[in-house]
Structure 1
Amino acid sequence: MAKSNKKIALDIVVSDVTLRISKKYGIRVNWAGTRVYKEYNTTDWNRFLQIHTNADGSKFLNVKPKNVPLDELVADAYNPMPKDGKKYILIHKDGDLGNCQANNLEWKEVRKYKPTATKRKLDNGLEVKVDGTILDKKKALPIVKEIGDSDTDSMKAIEHPYVSYRRKNKWGNYEDKTADVDDLMAAAEYVDGDKSTMKRPRVLHKNMDYKDFHALNLKWVEESSPEYQEYMKRKKEDIDKLTKELNWNNPNFKLPDNQ
């Protein structure tokens, strides 16, 4: 049988009921979560499905190959789970598992760390503290903020401060690794805000000090936002200033003309 290239409509109206397709389950449901409609290759088989109720009040559809939770069906149709790599659970805002109305359902992030935790261990073995201290095997790692430039025989401040650490590879040999402190603070969920709705999320240091990594100083913003653009301007000025200070007694040092 030839495969149909017919585009599936997002919404259809059947018996005066507006029904939206769930891309995950391939079943239609109305916004109120009270009517469910299944379409088949043979249109004569299309029909409304019966909604069943569990002992706890939650509702489901008895379809093959396995039952479909009604709340997940409604949420997928009207407010799909974010695809940002995080883990979510679906909650009913009013606590009523039988109320599957679209505006009563919300995807809540399952956070990896307790919100009150002041030290959080990452998958790479590093521990991150709320004040921006990075620990490896309980020892604080120095944050690299400037490096030597052998080409100009000078020191220069760097845009992305980082830490260095060592890990064994699969062959049992040690490898040197680096990680930006901003990235580590983000991985430890210390950066305030929700970046999932942003096009180009960036970490803003609220006090404009790019070397202050305390969690209270960090939040997610759009790259194009005025506050982030101002932060980057100030950051460049501070980097240039620090670079000059590092080379104050170097007679051969000078910043590039555009700086």
Structure 2
Amino acid sequence: MTELRIDERIDERIARHHPELTSQERRAAEALLEHLDDLAIYRASELAALAGVSKATMSRLFRSLGFTGFDEVRDHLRALRGTGEPRRTEGPPDLAAHAEQEAAAVADAVLQPGVADAAAVLAGARSVLVVGWRNSHPVALHLREQLVQARPRVALAPLPGQVLGEELADLGSGDAVVAVGFRRRPAGFAGFMAAAAATGADVVLLGDPTAAGHSGSARVWLPCPVQGPLAFDSYAAAMSLVGVLADGVLSRAGRAGQDRISAISAAYSRLAEVE
């Protein structure tokens, strides 16, 4: 049997070892794949019964895949969820508990001391570059759209078809970068953080707790939880934090910020762009 790789996902392990499995183990593997999303509600014996195999066969399958037992399989699936992979590990979610957790996440995000520091950085910077990829991009876009109401020279990157070299080349001391880095970040995120910090600009990092390893390149680190009981991450706290940051910038802008909002609204009216 080929050597197991502990970093492989369970479905990848099953696919790789499928030719080596017995017919009974293949039946057990099919049942395992069918119930990956709700595995937490089963015991090993129940899963074996669903597959029509013995508990011993199910145990042999786990060992063939490199797991010591059913508990380690569950731990593996929880670890996948911890990286941001959508996976329902329970039965129907408790929506009341979900709503309560969302409210707590919002409070944790907006009440952290770093929010005021980040708002001060963004209000005082000569220019602001907001960067976000993948799931972080909508949060970055929303932040840019809010900030540009309160202050000038706020850019979003990367735009479709663009890379970041041109954006970083214009940055220096007195500028600010907001790096939105929620989990399942692109592989080059660490390199971007180092490059942004090297420009001399003040870097604000906004991301879930898994981004803590990148916070050494940031002047301000704003952790924001996204994981809850649902299969997909929630960005409710992140969007609330964006609103609080923008409000802080507008407050610091004073009369100039209000005049800018009035000028933008007048432009909307002249161009008939919004209702």
Larger-gyration structure (1/2): 1
TM-score when normalising by structure 2: 0.30
TM-score when normalising by structure 1: 0.31
Q: Considering Cα pairs closer than 8 Å and 6+ residues apart, tell me whether 1 or 2 has the greater RCO.
A: 2
Q: Could you say which structure has the higher strand fraction?
A: 1
